[in-house]
Amino acid sequence: MSTKALLEDGPEELAGTVVPIVPPGQELKIPHRGGYEHYKVTTRHEEVEQEKVTVYRWWERTETAE
């Protein structure tokens, strides 16, 4: 299993970014602009900088309470 994820869709600043998967699981929750962007694992993999990484696709945003 890859320890990195390629983010697909979602905010323009995050799309195409490679991030660590900590801990490995079914969903990533990325803090972004006062909330969280949520990504779900796909069955796809991409070659990025000579490493095969798992593609995670954006599916929703949640806001944090201030």
The tally of domains found in the chain comes to 1
> What is the reported pLDDT for 46?
95
Quote the tokens at residue 55. 């593609």
> What is the reported pLDDT for 66?
65
Residues 6+ apart with CB under 8 A from 17: 6, 7
> What is the reported pLDDT for 14?
97
> What is the reported pLDDT for 64?
84
pLDDT tens for each residue of the chain, 66 residues long: 568 999 999 999 999 999 999 776 789 999 999 999 999 999 999 999 889 999 999 999 999 876
Instruction: Look at residues 44, 59, 57 and name the one whose alpha carbon lies nearest to residue 8.
Output: 57
Look-up of token digits 């490493």? 51
* Cis-peptide into 23, omega within 30 deg: yes
Q: 32: domain range? A: 4-63
